[in-house]
Structure 1
Amino acid sequence: MIPLPNGPPAQIPPIQHKFGKESPVERYKRQKRLAAIKNSFKHSWNGYKKNAWLQDEVRPLSGGYKNGFGGWGATLVDTLDTLWIMGMKKEFETAVGALEYLDFTTSPSPTISVFETTIRYVGGLLSAYDLSGEKYPILLAKAIELGDMLYASFDTKNSMPVVGSWKWLKAAKGELQHAPSNALSADIGSLSLEFTRLTQLSGDPKYYDAIQRIMNAFEQSQNTTRLPGMWPVSLNAHDLDFTNDRQFTLGAMADSLYEYFPKQYLLLNGRDKQTRNMYEKSMAVAKEHLFYRPLNPGNLDLLISGSVRQIGAGYDRKNEGQHLTCFVGGMVALGAKIFNTPEDILTAQRLTDGCVWAYQQTPSGMMPEIFEAIPCTDDEDCKWSEERWYKGLIMAVHRVLDTSTRSLKEQAQKIIDKGRLPLGFAKVVDSRYYLRPEAIESVFYMYRITGDKTWQDKAWQMFKAIDSHAKTDIAYAVVQDVRDEQSQLTDTMESFWTGETLKYFYLIFSEPDLVNLDSWVLNTEAHPLRRPQD
């Protein structure tokens, strides 16, 4: 068994800004916004309670329910800590009482996602236990019950878990399991916070031991991938081969792997130098290969995190912006404070503003799930002109510039009209707003770390846009097309809307000592885990 690291903790600098006293006018404005956000949460929660109690998700248009996360009431468990944070103690106790009806030793689903179950359920239970001062023993008991079920997924020849679609019944029957030959790096690399906290609270070293074996495998492979310093989107967990895939990103399917490095360092109070080294190496590579400055009409100093593919001896960057990469600004800001690299605060600000800009550019005020922008080849030379935008558009679509038959403007206008492109965009790849939290997550970190109140104003504009377009009679729903001010909605509301998105909005306008960043580490599902006080 690999034990929790001991020895003296590292001297970690203060993370959160020291906020001064606010004026009565500032307080009134903040509390008014806070109340509006809480009302949106109550509307969502009541819709779930009335239509989908003990199920995974409510259908916000039809009023039915959907189960896709083990069938254990994902929205209920994912939202426990939000109820506590918003001071809804009676609702919290009702939800905690309902846990008696959830059996985490079995599932109505033949397969479950180890990753999603860990971040939503285990994270949600442990966070509610920590936040409520350990006064509700059932929360830890249920986390252990579920942790023990998930622990069986590690019962493979090389102790790598069966992530992705895990046939849990095979493990329950003691049948032979194999680690997958095609696993997503986020799935296998983002279990550390929850399993570490489970060991810290239960005293059982097996959970930490399980995830530390994974971290060791990632560390050993960091410099041997096709983009040394980062890990590809998919990897062979069966043979511990990290060299097959050529795709690298901080976005979908890889994101939380990187997010957990500085957070794990924090949860272990700096006793684990491994995660610091892995974070610093990977971010140096991301800065060089992934981050780019987008051409934009306001000539704002922005950054977006794209993705790269290794081709031959070089790398081809895709100049996309995924909503899922919008967490990167917050991660870089947190890393800047933990590891005392103040120059990274500007990088974090530019990354976060890149996502805020993407919200502001659409008619609805919401960012699409995936879009592409025009990169400036030189960070200094990024002055907007329509001609430059037109050229970039044509190159993004046709890969070649030809003005022999039609003018630049004519060609570009056709692309703009067909794609209904917001100013500065090159392409809208996926037009949905999925109620996702990543952009507001980074705004939250920027506000709590810098104390700059302009982040609150940016957050409020984002909230108003979502509130006015995504609200239904029952709850809130996915917006199909952010380019349309009267967009159709999709009958989906994932648990992260109440578990993450509304929580981050609320914490931006709450008293700053609520979930203080010097005392709490938030997992990738926005579940605050208490930092042990050494």
Structure 2
Amino acid sequence: MAILTARRRFQRLALVAAVFLTAYLLLRRTSHIPPHEDRRRVKYVAASFDWAARRPTHPVDKATMTRMPPGIPRQLPRIQHEFTQDELGASHNQTQRARRDAVRHAAERSWRTYREHAWGRDEIAPLTLRGQDSFAGWGATAVDSLDSLWIMDMKDEFQHVVRHVATIDWDKPTSSLCSLFETTIRFLGGLLAAYDLSRDRVLLDKAVELGEMLYAGFDTPNHMPANSFNFRAAKEGRLAAGTNEASAAAASLSLEFTRLSQLTGDPKYYHAIDGVTRALDKTQDSTKLPGMWPVFVDLKNDFLTPGHGFSLGASADSAYEYLSKMHALLGGLDPVYEKLHTKAMATAKQHLLFRPMLPDSPAPAPAPAPDILFSGSVFASGTGEADLNPEVQHLACFAGGMFALGGRLFGDDGDVQTGERLARGCAWAYGAFPTGIMPEVSEVVACQTAGGEAGGGGGNLAACAWDEARWEQHGKHPKPFASVRDSSYLLRPEAIESIFVLYRITGKADLLDVAWQMFESIRKATETELAHSAIKDVQAAGETVKTDAMESFWIAETLKYFYLIFSEPELISLDDYVLNTEAHPFRVPKPGDGSLRADISRAM
């Protein structure tokens, strides 16, 4: 009997274990979160205000809510160059590893200084070593740098930030309002990308909390986003979209909100940004420069576009950047993004892009002027006239990567070449100044041609002869610069961003040397005792004057792009990820990708 009883006990224990094992496997199969994740390992503090429970003033009818386009993601064209073993030989890799390690060292010392002197604050002032809050005090540098820490294999520091993220209370800001745009690209984008890389559930939970809050920014009479996000007004449903809002602020929420819908299965985030997309589509051909949208738009009155100013620079930039990237993130299932992108790029080529008037290289090594382009700004009358201002904004240097990426996605080799000319233009501008860094805003003497080059699309893209007298009319800036309106460098990433994208797309090895020269120039000009700082004047011949500023994008973007260009091409492949305007990588759904199929199906 004793033997029989023991056997029955064993059978019962085995049955109980089988039940628990079956339940565990079922939960594992039905969840899109890997089972090893356990939120209990960190102290999780839920936000003290439940934005999900807030009753909207202008509710959306769930029956008519726009959902993500159905279907299996298309097989998109290959974006990255197929690197051969010869291209990635031993000596090549050894050089790039040394360069990558130098970048990592700069990131480590910058991060260490932030952690030791400004932990939990938005930014560190690298000279006075004071913490400061520019983005509501939730720790912008920490959250923005999360995926950089992961990518650079600083995993202990990554886990330290995760523990901090778990305790963020979005209802305890240091100011009465925040920018919907900045909070989305830095905080929400940072959390989503870090989740896509690590699959740590804490990050997604906090992203959902934040997403619920930011979604309230669309609770306006016409459901256009209110970029000036006043916390009290948002809680009370009193937000309204602006009448003179930056087009980038309105149209650069789509990647983050779409990825949040993909990961949670809640379509409301995608529905919110789809309204902006449809407004872009409706107005694209009726602006004063058809094909593009003015820098500032009237969102309050149903997306009016009366403005005369057009640019790929400040306040407009990422509105265009996100079009091709949304095409990729949606697996090519919504044709509107290809249409919006190709029309906008055609208009930009015709009116905004221009070739600078350049001298040939002098003896003893004479060479023809480089084949480069810049993107300026345009004042359009609406009657067919468009006056080009040949300004060069560092912010607009992202355009090289944008043209090249769109060219690959949409089968336009000419746009890839245009992208390369733009990327090399900004790299050339770096070398034109004593510090080896281009200024924030300058103006060059542009070529003036009547007919334009074959296939160029505009009258400002063809080469022209150097005219010394014409340049001298503007003063004695480096050739061919006519003026320098803002001579600072703010640790910005846009120039290296385009060089990185063009290297990954074309495989041209000389771009690695271009990137290294840029990094070395930036390192020398911005290095402080413990970190790196923005500088006052890139024209300084000797020691630079530091301005005691280090925004979160220094680690999140600039150093990340430098690190990636010197790393193996498989690390954050452009075929596997799209990077938001803050360089946060979101995983691209693909046919047969089991790790994402559950995410996508939940959003249908």
TM-score (norm 1): 0.93
Residue type at the aligned position of 1:382: A
The 5 A counterparts of 1:213-232 are 213-232=275-294
- Whether the 8 Å CA contact 1:329–1:442 is kept in 2: the answer is yes
Residue type at the aligned position of 1:510: S
Q: CA-to-partner distance for each residue in 1:291-319, whole Å, 9 max, x for gaps?
A: 00001224111110000012363111100
Q: CA-to-partner distance for each residue in 1:184-242, whole Å, 9 max, x for gaps?
A: 10001100000000000011111001000111111101111111110001111011243
Query: What's 2:233 paired with?
Result: 170
- Count of residue pairs brought into register by the alignment: 505
- Whether the 8 Å CA contact 1:232–1:242 is kept in 2: the answer is no
The 5 A counterparts of 1:42-441 are 42-132=108-198, 134=199, 136-163=200-227, 165-172=228-235, 174-298=236-360, 299-311=369-381, 313=383, 314-378=385-449, 382-385=463-466, 388-394=467-473, 397=474, 415-416=475-476, 421-441=477-497
Shift of 1:527: 0.2
Residue type at the aligned position of 2:549: T
TM-aligned CA distance change 1:27 to 1:307, over 3 Å: same
* Aligned counterparts of 1:91 and 1:431: Cα–Cα separation in 2: 35
Q: Which structure 2 segments of 5+ residues have no match?
A: 1-64, 361-368, 454-461, 592-604
* Aligned counterparts of 2:522 and 2:470: Cα–Cα separation in 1: 33
* Aligned counterparts of 1:440 and 1:392: Cα–Cα separation in 2: 28
Q: Which runs of 4+ in 1 moved over 4 A?
A: none
Q: CA-to-partner distance for each residue in 1:343-398, whole Å, 9 max, x for gaps?
A: 2211111111110110010011001001111111135663553xx1431452xx5x
Q: Which structure 1 segments of 5+ residues have no match?
A: 398-414
Q: CA-to-partner distance for each residue in 1:78-105, whole Å, 9 max, x for gaps?
A: 0000000011111111111111231124
* Aligned counterparts of 2:564 and 2:275: Cα–Cα separation in 1: 35
* Aligned counterparts of 1:106 and 1:198: Cα–Cα separation in 2: 23
* Aligned counterparts of 2:310 and 2:371: Cα–Cα separation in 1: 24
* Aligned counterparts of 2:587 and 2:72: Cα–Cα separation in 1: 18
Query: What's 2:365 paired with?
Result: none
Q: Secondary structure at the match of 2:517?
A: helix
Query: What's 1:400 paired with?
Result: none
RMSD of the TM alignment (CA)? 1.2
Radius of gyration: which is bigger? 2
- Whether the 8 Å CA contact 1:363–1:484 is kept in 2: the answer is yes
Query: What's 1:528 paired with?
Result: 585
Shift of 1:176: 2.4
* Aligned counterparts of 2:565 and 2:359: Cα–Cα separation in 1: 28
TM-score (norm 2): 0.82
1:473 aligns with 2:537: no
* Aligned counterparts of 1:168 and 1:28: Cα–Cα separation in 2: 51
Over the matched positions of the two proteins, sequence identity in percent amounts to 47
Residue type at the aligned position of 2:581: T
Q: Secondary structure at the match of 1:479?
A: coil
Residue type at the aligned position of 1:258: Y
TM-aligned CA distance change 1:393 to 1:335, over 3 Å: farther
Shift of 1:41: 0.5
TM-aligned CA distance change 1:393 to 1:156, over 3 Å: farther
Residue type at the aligned position of 1:167: N
* Aligned counterparts of 1:276 and 1:336: Cα–Cα separation in 2: 11
Q: Secondary structure at the match of 2:484?
A: strand
Q: CA-to-partner distance for each residue in 1:381-422, whole Å, 9 max, x for gaps?
A: 63553xx1431452xx5xxxxxxxxxxxxxxxxx21xxxx11
* Aligned counterparts of 1:252 and 1:483: Cα–Cα separation in 2: 22
Match of 1:498 among 542, 555, 559: 555
Q: Secondary structure at the match of 1:428?
A: strand
- Whether the 8 Å CA contact 1:422–1:483 is kept in 2: the answer is no
- Whether the 8 Å CA contact 1:183–1:237 is kept in 2: the answer is yes
